[in-house]
Structure 1
Amino acid sequence: MSEFSETEERQTLRREVAKLAAKFGREWFTDKARSGEKTTELWLEIGKFGYLGINIPEEYGGGGGGIGDIAAVCEELAAQGCPLLLMVVSPAICGTIINRYGTDEQKRRWLPGICDGTGTMAFAITEPDAGTNTHNITTTARRDGDEWVLNGRKVWISGVDEAENVLVVARAEDARTGKVKPVLFVVPTDAAGFEYQSIPMEIVSPELQFQVFIDDVRLPADAIVGDEDGGLVQLFAGLNPERIMAASFSTGLARFAIEKASAYAKERTVFQGPIGSHQAIAHPLAQCHIETELARLMTQKAAALYDAGDDLASGEAANMAKYAAAEAACHAADTAVQTHGGNGITQEYGMAGLLVATRAGRIAPVSREMILNFVAMHSLGLPKSY
C-alpha cells in the first residue's frame, strides 16, 4: 500500500459512515433546520455504531482511534449533505482535552456520554471583546473556599442547547506570580447562573449559535480539567484537532457541492449536449476537485502528525489544512451554484445555502488572516505583525 493511501480500516470507516449518512441525506438535514428541529436521530445513530467516539479510548466506550479517524467521520457526514458542527466540538476538542488531561474519574464521568451521544459537550472560548485574541479573554475564575466562582461572557458557542456540559476557558490568578492564566472548567448547562441566548443566523443548520452569560456560577474543585497551572499547552491540545476537524468539515462540503454540480452538468442539456461537455463548466469543476483533493491530503498529513504526537509540526499542518480546505470549499460552493444557473439559488436544489455554510470556514474557528499571520511568522520566519 502506498504511504499516501489511507489504511483499509480507515477506508472502510469512510464507506460505512457515508452509507449511514446517506440514509438521512441533505433534504432531511435542511428540513430539520428549516423546521427548527434537531438532528438527534442521526447523532445517536453515529454514536450507536461507535463512530462518534472513535478517537476516544475503548475503555471509555470509544473506538481507540486517532484524530484522523474522527476527522474522516466528520468529512463523510458533510459529503453526504449532513455537516455536523458538534462533531468538531464534542468528541474532537472536548474529548481530546479530557482524555489527555482529565483525571481517571473525569474520564469515566464524561467520556462515555461523549462517545454514545447522550452526554454531548460544547466548548466556550470566544468572547465578544476578544475575538481571535485568546489572550484577552476576561471570563474569570476565582477561588471561594473549596469551590470556584466563574463570571464572564462567551459568544459563537455552538450547540449549547444540545449539550449537557460546556468546557469553558476562563482566567484565574496565579497565587505565586499574580498573573492570570487560562484554566479549563466543565460547566453543566443547567447550572445556576449559566444562561444562553441564540444568535439569529443566515446559515441553514439545525445546530445553533449562542451567546453565553456566566454570572457567579459556582463549581466544585473537580470541575477543573487538567493542571490548574497547565496554561496554554492544555488549551492547544484541543485547538489543533479543532482545525483538523474544521478542514474535514470543509472538504466534506466541497465534495458534496462538486458531486451535485457534476451530476447536474451531466444531465442538463441547453445546446447540443450536456452542459458538462463545455469547458466553461467542466474546467471550474475540475479545478475545484483538484483543490479539494490537495486540501484533503494536507488534512490527512496534519492528522497523522498529531496522532504521532508531533504537536509542533501538526500545528503548522493543521493551520494550513484548515486554510486550504476553507478556500476549496468556498470555490466549490460558488462553482456549484454557477453550474446550476438559476436553479442554483432555489431551495429545491439546495446549493445556495452552501455559500454561507462554506464561507463560515474562512472565519471559524480561526480566520484565514490569522492563519496567514501564523504561517508568515512560524513557517517563514517573518516578523510578527500583530
Structure 2
Amino acid sequence: MQLELSPQQLEIQLHARKFARELMAPVAPIHDREGSFPLELLREAHKQGFLTPLIPKQYGGSEIGCLGACIQAEELASACMGIYVSIFVSTLALYPIVRFGTQEQKQRFLKPFCQGFSLASYCLSEKDAGSDPSSMKTLALPRGDHYLLNGTKMWITNGGYADLYVVFATRDPALKHRGILALIVPSSLEGVKPGEPIDKMGQRASNTTPVTFKEVRVPVENLLGGEEEGFKKAMAALDVTRPIIASGAVGLARSAMELASSYASRRVQFGVPIAQHGAVQTMLADMGISVSAARLMVWRAAWLADKGLKNTKEAAEAKAFSADAAMKVTTDAVQIYGGMGYTKWHPVEKLMRDAKVIQIYEGTAQIMRRIVAREMVREHS
C-alpha cells in the first residue's frame, strides 16, 4: 500500500478542500443554527461530482474508488459534517445498485442520477429496529408483478428531499435475516410519504426524517438481488461505505485539533500561551496522534476495498476508532477553549455536537466492536 498520494488523489484532495473552504465553511454556521437544509449547495456538490464517487464513469459517475472517496470525505467534512453527510448518503444508497444491481437497473437508476441533480436515501433503520435489522417490521409482500410495501423507516438522511430510496424490508418477520430484501423505490410512487424533519442535537444541516410506505406498489424489476440476499447486500455495502463515513470523522476531528492548537497558541494564562503548559500540550499531542492513527486505519480499510479484498474487520475498526477519536478530540477542544468553548461564539461546540452521532449511525461503536471480535475469532479459530 502506497502512503504517498498519487497525482489523481492529490487533485481529488485539493478539489474537495477548495469546495469545503469556499462554499461549505461560510454557510455551515447558518444551517447549523437554523437547522436548514443546504439544497443549493447540494446542487453544486452534485455538479462537481461529490455525490457519485463510487459510480462507474460509464454511467456518468466520478469512479474515484473507496480511497479516493475517503480523501474527498475528510476535506468536505472538515468544513461541516452535517452538510457532508447529506452529500455522502447518496453514495450509501446507490452503492448497493453499483455492486449488486442488474445492467438494466444501473441504466435506469444510476445514469439519470448522474445526469441531473438528484438525491438518494438508504432506508434500513426503524424506530424499533436499529442495531438489529432482523427485527424490522416493514413488509414487502410479493403480489405478482410487484411487491406491496408497508411500513415506516426512521432516521432517514435526505428523507424529505430524496428522489430515490433503497429500502430494506422483510417478506416475513419470522424469517429474520433470511426474510430481508432490498427494493429500489422512487419517491414518486404513490404511498411514499416523508415525515417532518427531526430536530437534532448535531449535524443539523442534514435533513433527517421518518419515511412511511403505505400500500406502495414496487415493480418486481426493482428488486435488488435475490429475495434472500437483502441482508447480505446491506452488510457488504457497509463494508465499503463505513471507511468513507469514518474519514468524515477524521476531517471533523482534524478541524477541532487545528482550532484548538491555534487557540492554545494565542490564549495567555500565567504569562505564557497555554500551549506552553504541559497539561495542554499532552491534550494537543493526543489529538494529533488520534487523527493520524484514524486516518491510517481508514486508508487501509479503503485500500482493501479497492483491491476487492475482504475488509469487514478493518472497516469496523476504522469506523469505531475514528468515531471515538472525533468525540474525544472535539471534547478536548472545548476543554482547551475553556468557557469560550462552551459558547456559540466559537465553532468547537458545534464540532462536539456533530461528532456524537458518528458513534451511533452506520453501526454503533458497540456493534463495531462486536464485528471486530467476531472477525478476530474467525481468523484465529
- TM-score, with normalisation over the residues of structure 2? 0.92
Question: In structure 1, which of residues 192, 199, 202 is the aligned counterpart of residue 190 of structure 2?
Answer: 192
Q: Residues of 2 paired with 1:236 and 1:362: CA distance?
A: 18
User: Residue type of the partner of 1:15?
Assistant: L
Aligned residue pairs: how many?
377
CA contact (8 A) 1:29 1:82 kept: no
Note the residue ranges of structure 1 that are not aligned, 5 or more in a row: none
1:73 equivalent in alignment to 2:93: no
1:326 equivalent in alignment to 2:323: yes
Q: Residues of 2 paired with 1:46 and 1:359: CA distance?
A: 25
- Match of 1:24, SS? helix
Q: Residues of 2 paired with 1:9 and 1:88: CA distance?
A: 20
- Match of 1:154, SS? strand
Worse-matched range after superposition: 5-14 or 142-151: 5-14
Q: Residues of 2 paired with 1:354 and 1:72: CA distance?
A: 20
> Which residue number corresponds to residue 248 of structure 1?
247
| Cα distance change on mapping 1:82 and 1:318 into 2, 3 Å | closer
CA contact (8 A) 1:55 1:69 kept: no
Q: Residues of 1 paired with 2:378 and 2:228: CA distance?
A: 30
Q: Residues of 1 paired with 2:319 and 2:379: CA distance?
A: 21
> Which residue number corresponds to residue 144 of structure 1?
143
- Match of 2:129, SS? coil
User: Residue type of the partner of 2:331?
Assistant: D
User: Residue type of the partner of 1:318?
Assistant: A
> Which residue number corresponds to residue 89 of structure 2?
89
| Cα distance change on mapping 1:46 and 1:173 into 2, 3 Å | same
**CA deviation digits over 1:326-358, x for unaligned, max 9?**
111011101111111111012121211222211
Note the residue ranges of structure 2 that are not aligned, 5 or more in a row: none
- Percent pairwise identity: 29
Q: CA deviation at 1:55?
A: 2.0
Q: Residues of 1 paired with 2:16 and 2:116: CA distance?
A: 16
CA contact (8 A) 1:74 1:245 kept: yes
User: Residue type of the partner of 1:106?
Assistant: Q
User: Residue type of the partner of 1:278?
Assistant: H
Q: Residues of 1 paired with 2:107 and 2:345: CA distance?
A: 45
1:349 equivalent in alignment to 2:339: no
> Which residue number corresponds to residue 364 of structure 1?
361
- Match of 1:160, SS? coil
Worse-matched range after superposition: 325-334 or 274-283: 274-283
| Cα distance change on mapping 1:375 and 1:117 into 2, 3 Å | farther
CA contact (8 A) 1:54 1:115 kept: no
Q: CA deviation at 1:382?
A: 11
- Match of 1:344, SS? helix
Q: Residues of 1 paired with 2:288 and 2:108: CA distance?
A: 43
- Match of 1:62, SS? coil
Question: In structure 2, which of residues 366, 369, 373 is the aligned counterpart of residue 376 of structure 1?
Answer: 373
1:308 equivalent in alignment to 2:311: no
Q: CA deviation at 1:204?
A: 4.5
User: Residue type of the partner of 1:253?
Assistant: L
> Which residue number corresponds to residue 108 of structure 2?
109
> Which residue number corresponds to residue 207 of structure 1?
206
User: Residue type of the partner of 1:142?
Assistant: L
Give the alignment's Cα RMSD to 1 decimal: 2.4
Q: CA deviation at 1:231?
A: 3.9
| Cα distance change on mapping 1:81 and 1:155 into 2, 3 Å | closer
- Match of 2:293, SS? helix
Q: CA deviation at 1:213?
A: 1.9
Q: CA deviation at 1:102?
A: 1.4
1:218 equivalent in alignment to 2:206: no
**CA deviation digits over 1:117-172, x for unaligned, max 9?**
71211000011222211121121111222111011121111111121111100112
> Which residue number corresponds to residue 290 of structure 1?
289
User: Residue type of the partner of 1:328?
Assistant: A
1:158 equivalent in alignment to 2:154: no
Worse-matched range after superposition: 218-227 or 283-292: 218-227
Q: CA deviation at 1:376?
A: 2.0
Q: CA deviation at 1:381?
A: 5.2
Q: Residues of 1 paired with 2:322 and 2:28: CA distance?
A: 22
CA contact (8 A) 2:141 2:148 kept: yes
- TM-score, with normalisation over the residues of structure 1? 0.91
Q: Residues of 2 paired with 1:230 and 1:360: CA distance?
A: 29
Q: Residues of 2 paired with 1:47 and 1:122: CA distance?
A: 15
Question: In structure 2, which of residues 180, 196, 206 is the aligned counterpart of residue 182 of structure 1?
Answer: 180
- Match of 1:156, SS? strand
| Cα distance change on mapping 1:221 and 1:258 into 2, 3 Å | same
| Cα distance change on mapping 1:219 and 1:35 into 2, 3 Å | same
